Amino acid sequence: MKMNMMKNTTRIVFTAFASLIIFAGCERSVSGLSEPTLTNNPEVFVDGFSAGLEYFPYTDGFAKLDAFQVDSDVTFDGAGSSMRIDVPNPEDPTGVYAGALFRDINGGRDLSGYDALTFYARGSKAARINQIGFGQNDQNSNYQVKVDSLRIATYWQKITIPIPNPSKLTAESGLFWFAENPEDGDGYSFWIDELKFEKLGNIAQPRPVINGGVDQQIVSSVNLTETITGFSYTSNTIVELPDGTTTSRDVTVELAPSYFDFVSSNSSVATVNQFGVITMVGEGMATITATVDGVQAEGSLDVTVGAAFQTAPVPTVDPDSVISIFSDAYTNVPVDYYNGFFIPDGQTTEGGTGFDGGPPGADIVVDGDGIINYTNLNFVGIGTFLDVSPIDASDMTHLHVDINVQEAVDAGDFIRIQLLNGVQTSNETSGVVTIDSNTLMENEWVSLDIPLSQFGLVDRSQLGLIFFISDETVSNIYVDNIYYYTDGSDIVSGPPTVDINPAPTPTADSDSVISIFSDTYTNVNVDYFNGFFEFSTTQGGTGYAGGPPGADFKIDSDTSNGVINYTSLNFVGIGTFQDVSPIDVTNMTHIHADIYINEALDGGDYIDLRLVNAVEQGNENNGNTVRVPTADLTQGEWTSIDIPLVNFGLDAYDEVGLIFFISDGTISDIYVDNVYYYDSGEVIEALPAPTLPITFDDSEVSYAATTFNGASYEVIANPQVSGSNNTASNVGSITNIGAQFEGIYFNLESNLDFNDGTTITMDVYSTTSVPVLLKIEDGGSNFVEVAQTHGGSGWEELTFNFSSSAAFPRVTIFIDGPGTTSGTFYIDNIIQQ
C-alpha cells in the first residue's frame, strides 16, 4: 500500500508527560495582554516531550496506533530519552505502517526565528523513511514541509530539514510528522532524538520551484480556476564530517503552496491566491509566477483566458423534494466514487476524480459550481453501494441530470443512463433510458428530467450505481446536477409506459394460434426477443425488470398491454431454437405482427421479415425475404401485417427457430406487438417457382427472389415503357446499394436444361453502361456464366450465349457484379431461345 498522509488523527495522551502539559500552562501569556504571545520554544523532543507537544497517530485504519514509544535505552547522547518508532510488518493486525503527527496543543509556536528542523536519526537497519517533515496538523497544513525517502543509517546521523521561509511560521503547531512503510517488506525500528528547530545560519542557495519547474501555457475560460502544483524547494545545508572538515548538501523538500508569494502579471485576467489557485477573471493573457522570500521560483503558468464558461442551470426544485448525488445546489448524499474505473471491464473513461481541495468528483469548478468532466467516455459508474448506503428513491419520480457534450454531436451518438438497484445482491436489477443524438447538444447544457418509471425498476429503494454509457459515440461531456426528485405526482411503481395507442386486439381464435408475443394469447417460450447478433445495432426487446419477456414498455392507456420497442434497428432476431423447442407451424397459414412506426417515413423505407427453419442444423433453411414496403406503413400508427407462410418459401415449417425483422437502417424506431402464427382456415397453395421464360406477369407463379450482398428486389409495373420493352407489364426491379457482387437469384421450379437451347435473352433497363452477368448454377460449386455489357440507353435486350449442355435449377443476376454502381435497374423477359 502506498500510504497517503492522512490527516485524521487520534490523540493519545501519555501519562508520562501529563505533567509537561501542566507546565506548558505556565508559558501562556500574562493575563491582560489582548493577544497571547506564542512561545518560540525550539525544542520538540530533545530528551523527552517538550511543553505542549502531543502524539497523534494517523487514524486512517492502516497506521499502527502504538508505533511510537518513548525510549530511554537508545538515545543519541546517553541522556533522557529518544523517540522510537516501530514500523510494523505488512501483515501486522495492528496496522501496516507507522504514521503520526506531533502537534503543539497550546496554540502553536513562533518558529520564525529558526531556519531548520534538525534531529539525529538511526535505524535498526539502513532504511529510507517514506515521508517526514513538519507543518502538518489537524486544522490546516498550510505550511507543510515534506522530505521524501529520507535515508537513515544504523548509526546516529544529524538530519537537517530547512524551513523554506521562516517568516511564515509565526503560529505553527505542526512540529513534526512522519509516515513510513515496512522496509523491503519487513518491519523495523528507527529512533529520533534531539528533535528541535535551530537557527543554523548557514542554509543558502534557495531554489524554489512551482509547476515542476516547467513554464507551461494553458488555455482557460473566465470563472474557471486552475490549481498550481509541483512545488519544491531545494537549499544547501552545511554538513560537518567526523574528521572536522565540512561539505554541503542540497536538501529538496516538497512544500505547501502558502510558502510562496504568487504574482499575476495581469490581475484583470487572472488572480492567484495563497494556495496557488488561479481564478480567471477576464479575457486575455497573464503569467503566474512565484517567489519564496524574494527568490524567484523556477516554473510558471501562462494562461490564455477566453470567454466565460457556461454553467448548468441552477436547479430550482425544493431541497425537501431532492436526493442529490452531485450538485452544488443541494447537500449531496455520501458517494463511494464518481468514477468506478472498471478497467478490467474495458472502461476507458477518465474524470469524476475531483482535485485536491475541491468538492468531491468535481473536475472543474466555475464560480463555486463543481462540474464533472468525463473524457474518453465509453461507460462510467457513480457508486453508492460500497461504503455508503444505497439510495432509496422509492418516493422520487424523476432523475435529473445536466449534460453538456464537448464535441460535435453526430447522428447515432447516444448516452444511455442505467440505474442499478441492489448492486451485488441476489436481487440486482437494472434499467436503462437512452438519450439520443436529437437531444444531446454540442457545447450546450441539456437538462434531462427522466421519469423514473422509464427505467422500469420495480424496486428502487437500493440504488447503488448510475452508469453513463456512450459506447464511445460521445467521448467528452460535462455533467452536473445529478439528483432524484419528486414532482409531487403519484409515484408510478411498476413498468415503464409509453403514450401510444394500443395495437388492435387480435381476433384470431386462440385455438388456431401459436403466439410468440401477445397479451391476448398464451405465448410459447422463446430464447430471446433480441439476439444481439454481430453487426446488429438494434436495441430493445430486452424487457424490464418484473415485466413480461421482451416487453420494453406498457401502453400508457392500457397497462396490461406490453410492447417491444426496437430502436437503432437494422436487423433483429427473435429466437426459439436454443433452450426452447423450435416452433412447428406446419399447420399454420400466416404469420401476424403489428408494427408501429415511431418516426417519419421516407420513400425507400421498408421492413423485411424472414423465417429460418432448423436453425444451426444441417438442413438450416433461410427461405425468402418478404417485404413490407413504405406504402404499407404509416408514421405514428399500427400496421397489422399478415403474411402467408408459403411466401417465405421454406423447405419445411416444422422447426422455425428465428423470426427476423430487417430494415437495414431505413427505419430505426418501431414498436412491435402481437407476433403470432395462425391458421386462417384457408388452403393456401404455394405459388410455384418460375421456369423460363420469366415475364413477371403470370399471377400463378411466385417471382420471389433471394437477394444478397446488399441488393434489394421487388416486382413492379414497368415504369419505363420504351426501347426493347415497349409494353406495359410487370418487371423485376433490382436496387444496388453499391456493394461488390450484390445481386439476386431465382430458384426455378425445374432445371434450366441447355439441351433445350444455349442462348438466353433478357431485357435490362439501365441509364449507365454496366456489365450484366447471368449465372446458371446449382447453388453449389457447379455453374456456367456469361457477361454482357449494357450500353446504358434504357431498355436493351442482352443476349447471353452459353456453350453448355448442363442443367441447373438457379438463375443468378449481377448488375455490375465486380463494380460498385448503385441505383435501380429493371429486368424482364428472361427467355431461353
Partner 1 sequence: MNPTFLHSFLLVTVLVCITTCTDNNSEPDNSFTTLVWSDEFNSGDSPSSENWIFDIGTGEEIFGQPGWGNNELQYYTNRSENIRVRNGMLEITAREESFQNSGYTSAKILTRGLEEWTFGRFEASIQLPFGQGIWPAFWLLGDDSDGMEIWPQIGEIDIMEYRGQQPTEVHGTIHGPGYSAGEAITDKYVLSSGRFDTEFHVFAIEWGPDFIDFYVDDVLYNTITPEDVGSDEWVFNDNSFYIILNVAVGGWFAGFPNDNTPFPQTMLVDYVRVYEMDN
Q: Nearer to partner 1 by C-beta: 244 or 488? A: 244
61, 201, 346, 780: which one binds partner 1 (CB under 8 A): 201
Of the pair 205, 493, the CB lying nearest partner 1 is at 205
- The helix/strand/coil state of 73 is coil
Residue type, 584: D
From 403, 448, 418, 264, select the one nearest 340 (Cα to Cα). Answer: 418
Q: Grid coordinates in use for 806?
A: 448442363
Is residue 149 near partner 1 by the rule CB under 8 A?
A: no
- Determine contact, residues 495/547, Cβ cutoff 8 Å: yes
Q: Minimal distance in Å, beta carbon 284 to partner 1?
A: 34
Tell me phi and psi for residue 666, to 5 degrees: -70, -30
> Which of 81-89, 196-204, 279-287, 791-799 is the region at the interface with partner 1 (rule: CB under 8 A)?
196-204
Span near partner 1 by CB under 8 A; candidates 198-206, 403-411, 467-475, 752-760:
198-206
The rounded Cα 684 to chain-centroid distance in angstroms is 53
Nearer to partner 1, 248 or 799 (CB): 248
> Which of these ranges, 56-64, 147-155, 202-210, 662-670, lies near partner 1 under the rule CB under 8 A?
202-210
Its sign, for the CA torsion 578, 581, 586, 588, is negative
State yes or no: residue 202 binds partner 1 (CB under 8 A). yes
Site for partner 1 (CB under 8 A): which residue of 126, 204, 218, 716?
204
Task: Give least dist CB 208 to partner 1, A.
Answer: 12
Shortest distance, CB of residue 298 to partner 1, whole angstroms? 10
The span of 105-113, 200-208, 278-286, 683-691 binding partner 1 (CB under 8 A) equals 200-208
The minimum distance between CB 414 and partner 1, in angstroms, equals 52
Minimum CB separation from partner 1 for residue 200, in Å?
A: 8
Contacting residues for 285 by C-beta, under 8 A, at least 6 apart: 266, 269, 302, 303, 304, 305
**Which residue, 167 or 427, has its beta carbon nearer to partner 1?**
167
- Write out the E strands in 663-782: 670-678, 706-708, 712-717, 730-736, 743-753, 759-766, 770-777
Give the binding range for partner 1 (CB under 8 A) out of 52-60, 203-211, 581-589, 816-824: 203-211
- Residues 632-671 interacting with partner 1 (rule: CB under 8 A): none
Taking the mean position of all CA atoms in its chain, how far away is CA 264? 38
Closest distance to partner 1 from the beta carbon of 471 (Å): 48
Q: How far is the CB of 373 from partner 1 (least distance, A)?
A: 37
699: left (phi over 0), alpha (psi -120 to 50) or beta: alpha
Rounded least distance, CB 300 to partner 1, Å: 18
Q: Which is nearer to partner 1, 246 or 801 (CB)?
A: 246
Question: Minimum Å distance from CB 42 to partner 1?
Answer: 17
**CB proximity list for 396: less than 8 A, separation 6 or greater:** 323, 452, 460, 484, 485, 486
Alpha carbon distance 744, 737 (integer Å): 13
Q: List the grid coordinates of 43.
A: 525544542
CB contact at 8 A, 280 and 305: yes
Nearer to partner 1, 241 or 411 (CB): 241
247-266 mask for partner 1 (x: CB under 8 A)? Answer: xx-x----------------
CB of 212 to partner 1, least distance (A): 16
Closer residue to partner 1 (CB): 11 or 151: 151
- Smallest distance from partner 1 to CB 236, Å: 7
Q: How many angstroms separate the CA atoms of 227 and 245, rounded?
A: 44
Please report whether residue 205 would count as binding partner 1 according to CB under 8 A: yes
Considering the complex, state which of residue 153 and residue 204 has its C-beta at the smaller distance from partner 1: 204
Determine the 3-state secondary structure of 15 from DSSP.
helix
Closest CA to 479 of 312, 303, 663: 312
Residue whose CB is less far from partner 1, 245 or 803: 245
| Locus of grid cell 414496403 | 629
Nearer to partner 1, 248 or 267 (CB): 248
- DSSP single-letter state for residue 387: S
Residue 457 sits at φ, ψ, to 5 deg, of -80, 125
Nearer to partner 1, 247 or 803 (CB): 247
Residues in contact with partner 1, shown as a per-residue x/- string from 210 to 249 under the rule CB under 8 A = --------------------------x-x-----xxxxx-
Pick between residue 74 and residue 200 the one whose CB is nearest to partner 1.
200
Instruction: State in angstroms the smallest separation of the CB of 114 from partner 1.
Output: 14
How far is it, in rounded angstroms, from Cα 770 to Cα 818?
A: 10
Q: Closer CB to partner 1, residue 247 or residue 507?
A: 247
223-236: b (≥16 Cβ within 10 Å) or e: bbbbebeebbbbbb
Min CB(215)–partner 1 separation in Å = 17
From the CB of 199, what's the least distance to partner 1, in Å? 10
Shortest reach from residue 204's CB to partner 1, in Å? 4
- Written as one string, the DSSP assignment of 78-96 is SSS-EEEEEEPPTT-TT-S
| Whole-number Å distance between alpha carbons of 411 and 439 | 11
Nearer to partner 1, 204 or 314 (CB): 204
- Please identify, using beta-carbon distances, which residue of 57 and 208 lies nearer to partner 1: 208
* Calpha distance 88→81 (Å, rounded): 22
294 binds partner 1 (CB under 8 A): no
CB 728 within 8 A of CB 828: no
Sign of CA dihedral 582, 586, 587, 593: positive
Residue pair 482/466 in contact by the 8 Å Cβ criterion: yes
Q: What does R_g of the chain's alpha carbons equal in angstroms?
A: 40
What is the C-alpha to C-alpha distance for residues 691 and 460, in angstroms, rounded to an integer?
63
Number of residues that bind partner 1 (CB under 8 A): 13
Beta strands in 274-387 (DSSP E): 277-280, 284-292, 295-296, 300-306, 322-326, 364-366, 369-374, 379-383
CB of 160 to partner 1, least distance (A): 14
Under the binding rule (CB under 8 A), the answer on residue 425 touching partner 1 is no
DSSP collapsed to 3 states, 406-423: CCCCCCCCEEEEEEEECC
Closest separation between CB of residue 155 and partner 1, Å? 23
- Which range of residues in 199-207, 462-470, 636-644, 798-806 is near partner 1 by CB under 8 A? 199-207
In the bound state with partner 1, the residue whose beta carbon lies nearer, of 115 and 180, is 115
Please name the residue that has the C-alpha cell 419528486.
486
* Alpha-carbon span 194 to 171, nearest angstrom: 22
Closest CA to 675 of 544, 530, 537, 568: 530
Shorter beta-carbon distance to partner 1: residue 298 or 742 = 298
Distance of alpha carbon 688 from alpha carbon 682, whole angstroms? 18
Least distance (Å) from partner 1 to the CB of residue 345? 44
Q: Please, are residues 322 and 331 in contact by the beta-carbon 8 Å criterion? A: no
Question: Do residues 806 and 790 lie in contact, with contact meaning Cβ atoms separated by under 8 Å?
Answer: no
Of 252 and 537, the one with the shorter C-beta distance to partner 1 is 252
Sites of contact with partner 1 (CB under 8 A): 201-202, 204-205, 207, 236, 238, 244-248, 250
